[in-house]
Chains A and B, each alone.
Chain A
Amino acid sequence: MTDEDLARSVQRGDADAFGTLMERYEAKLARYARRFLFGQSDAEDMVQDAFLKAYMNIQSFDAGRKFSSWLYRIAHNEFITALRKRTRQPIFSFDPDTIFPHPLSSETADRDANIAELRALMDRGLGALHPKYREPLILYYFEEKDYREIADILEIPVATVGVRLNRGRAMLKARIHDHGYSHD
């Protein structure tokens, strides 16, 4: 049964189907939360809140669309709210990168060429990156979402996803280089 079929069952009142969806996504969202909310002890509570919100709002899910993007969007909103409370400043304020078009790089080649190296680097330096750059890197390299899914989760243009990934990678490499880490 697909995620979307299960979501349709939940919409019809089948709470156990929601249990199955949770089973499929708990570990993924927990991993996403741990990396995105680096150092935040209540990450697990936030994942739980994201699931509760997903259940409350399941009737707004359009079963013709992808369930995982919808669920990750809810989790993203939860995490951003938490970060905002913690830092007491806007995490994603107005971003000029979302205004103008940018050339889109080939995402498959990009991922294949760098994934092993970058995953190793990220585990060392991800926490130091601004959430704006940290989140697309996590979604792309660890959650294995494509540009379009990331664009839907973050509600930003597809080309901006590419820009943030490139900048995030460059910042990460510079930081690792400055601190003399090696990914070997």
Chain B
Amino acid sequence: MTDHPSHRESPEAPQKMREKVLAAIKRGDVTMRPKWHFVLRAALMLMGSVFAFLALLYVVSFILFVLWRTGAWFVPVFGMRGILAFLLGIPWMLVFVSLALVIILELLVKHYAFAHRKPLLYSVLGITAFAFAGGLIVAKTTIHPWLYQQAMEHRLPVAGQFYEHLPGGRVDMVYRGSVTSVATSGFILAPHRGEPFGVYLTATTSLPYGFDFVEGDTVVVFGEPDGDLVHAIGVREIDPDDIDRSGPPDGPRPFRGFLLLPRP
């Protein structure tokens, strides 16, 4: 083995180093940090991780709440235009906040062997899966509807703004409400807020779960508004609990036109 000349071991060097270090320790020039210092640091790291995970759960559940509330969650089943409406309904700013929280969590746990021994992809996917499952559970509770209600009644001082101006609060061409009467060519939909309006069904209307609506059914309509009518591209029944939980939907509103279908 050939060493670089400047790197040849000098036998006395280790001895000198040991003596110097031990002398520094004994003189008190170098002191051991107390155990509590590391316990405190570990506790702060743990608290930071827990806080970041709870924040992630909250944001993910809020994204799901927004998607349910706007009805965007239910429209991908209506084909490419439904998928496009769903993508446009996603509050992307909150998605980026979630990604930032995933990165923070990753940075906090990467010093632990269970996290760094496996590829980054596994821990990121693990955190994301836990956050999505946990967010889904939180979104199924009454937390967000309750906070939303408080915000609407101006009893939520700080977070109220967050709920009053829901990101992605309106999704073009997506309506939710209850069926009040059924006819051969359509039905009347009563949104929780606003006036009832007619939903017109055509031969091309997508009905993935059939057309067996009766009065009182809760449905999501994906369609183009035309005055007091909506020409349905797709209609599906949904669990009324989702409506009750996730606050009042919107009535027809001005159509921006970028998803316009040719009329049959």
- Identify the A interface with B (CB < 8 A): 11, 15-16, 18-19, 22-23, 26-27, 30-31, 34, 38-39, 41, 43-44, 47-48, 51-52, 55-60, 98-102, 119-120, 123-124, 127, 148, 151-152, 155-160
Contact = CB atoms under 8 A, between A and B. Distances in A.
Nearest to B2: A123
Interface in B153-167: none
A151 B1 contact: no
Interface string B1-27: 111101101000110011011101110
Contacts of A19: 18, 22
B119 to A, nearest CB: 5
Interface residues of B, number: 35
Interface in B87-135: 110-111, 113, 116-122
A26 B14 contact: yes
A99 B21 contact: no
B18 A22 contact: yes
A58 B22 CA distance: 14
A127 B30 CA distance: 33
Nearest to B113: A152
B21 A55 contact: yes
14 contacts: A16-B22, A18-B21, A22-B14, A23-B18, A30-B9, A38-B4, A48-B20, A55-B21, A59-B33, A59-B35, A59-B38, A148-B117, A152-B113, A152-B117
Contact of B111 (A52, A155, A160): A155
Nearest to A45: B17
B37 interface: yes
A58 B32 CA distance: 7
A39 B26 CA distance: 33
Contact of A59 (B6, B20, B37, B119): B37
A139 B65 CA distance: 51
B17 A44 contact: yes
A143 B167 CA distance: 56
